[in-house]
Amino acid sequence: MASVTVSSCVVHGHDVRYAQAGTTGPVVVLLHGIASRAAQWASVMSVLGERYRVLAPDLLGHGLSAKPRGDYSLGAQACGVRDLLATLGHDRVSLVGHSLGGGIAMQFAYQFPERVERLALVSSGGLGREVSVFLRAATLPGSELVLPLLAGSWVRRAGSALDKRVGRFVPAGLHEALVGFGSLGDGPTRSAFVHTARSVIDIAGQRVDGRDRLYLAEDLPMLVVWGARDAILPVAHGRAVAELVPTARYVEFPGSGHFPHLTEPRRLAEVFEDWLTSTEPAHLDPSTLTERLRATAATRRTG
């Protein structure tokens, strides 16, 4: 098992923390979800790090990275990931995104196709409107006043007690969601969370949908992984993407919820490893997207 270390660097004046494992092989980048942190990938990283150079940042506004007053949209986060990778000397990577991180990964591939060799989405956001009521409620006016109540230590204790007493009756992922809300203990973290949530969600559900652009990456090796018991983002989203993108590899974890990297990390690492070794890295550039956009526009004009 490879050791996982934590480092930091300054990007545009902001401190960015990141975990890393492995020193040789292709670079694999793991992006966490909202109210999460890079440390959740540690078990997966220790396995992948035996053959790959694995990097997992704390996104701005999350974990131990800076939480500035600023832009927390998918596009801004994708640019931040690009700039971190450039600072560290990584020009091309295989990109994995979980939940919000999946939306950022798709946006990254759309904005910087020349930097992406493969794309994996794990219980990803941005693939349908439906999303947990917890996250929709967090976007309501005045949520900043309610979140301190949800972020108290009692939430973490309640989550642990609930898990012990009736764990098998609780929707998979609810405990992890409570722990995530429990991490919003300070003002800057709560503010970053609210701005992040409102950039992609409203009371009606997810506002950002990347499905209409997936055809632009038809040559990009794609993996879609979902927990069948996901209580945050429905497994139907993953199944629909598998039908929409026939070249994508789809893997479903029957016993997992929204966090397969926490509930079944070794199996997930093995799925990643098989996908990485059995696919060839893509070589795309902005002109590829331009050609496909123009071809689509011409088809609609003549159709």
Q: What is the pLDDT of residues 108-137, one digit of tens each?
A: 999 999 999 999 999 999 999 999 887 888
Domain count, the chain: 1
Q: What is the CATH number of the domain that holds 125?
A: 3.40.50.1820
Confidence of residue 284 (pLDDT cuts 50, 70, 90): confident
Q: Which domain holds residue 41?
A: 4-129+206-302
Q: Mean pLDDT across the stretch 138-163?
A: 58
Catalytic residues: 99, 230, 258
Q: Domain for residue 149, yes or no?
A: no
**What's this model's pTM, rounded to 2 decimal places?**
0.89
The b-or-e profile of 204-237 (16+ CB within 10 A means b, else e) is ebbebebeebbebbeebbbbbbbbebbbbbbbeb
Q: Domain for residue 234, yes or no?
A: yes
117 versus 174: which is more confidently predicted? Answer: 117
Q: Mean pLDDT across the stretch 5-11?
A: 96
Most confident of 62-71, 91-100, 239-248, 282-291: 91-100
Confidence of residue 188 (pLDDT cuts 50, 70, 90): confident
Q: Domain for residue 261, yes or no?
A: yes
45 versus 299: which is more confidently predicted? Answer: 45
Q: Domain for residue 164, yes or no?
A: no
How far apart (Å, rounded) are the C-alpha atoms in residues 206 and 200?
6
Mean confidence (pLDDT) of the chain = 87
How far apart (Å, rounded) are the C-alpha atoms in residues 238 and 253?
11
Q: Domain for residue 155, yes or no?
A: no
Three-class SS of residue 241?
Answer: helix
Taking every pair of Cα atoms in the chain, the longest distance, rounded to a whole number of angstroms, is 62
Q: Domain for residue 160, yes or no?
A: no
Q: Are 226 and 98 in contact (CB under 8 A)?
A: no
Alpha helices in 3-91 (DSSP H): 42-48, 74-88
Which of 67-81, 154-168, 176-190 is predicted least confidently?
Answer: 154-168
Q: Domain for residue 240, yes or no?
A: yes
- Per-residue pLDDT tens over the stretch 228-261: 999 899 999 999 999 999 889 999 999 999 999 9
pLDDT at 145: 56
Q: Are 127 and 148 in contact (CB under 8 A)?
A: no
Q: Domain for residue 182, yes or no?
A: no
Given a cut of 80, whether residue 148 has pLDDT beyond it is no
Q: What is the DSSP string of 72-104?
A: -SHHHHHHHHHHHHHHHT--SEEEEEETHHHHH
Name the DSSP class of 38: G
Confidence of residue 219 (pLDDT cuts 50, 70, 90): confident
Distance of CA 19 to the CA centre of its chain: 15
How far apart (Å, rounded) are the C-alpha atoms in residues 28 and 90?
10
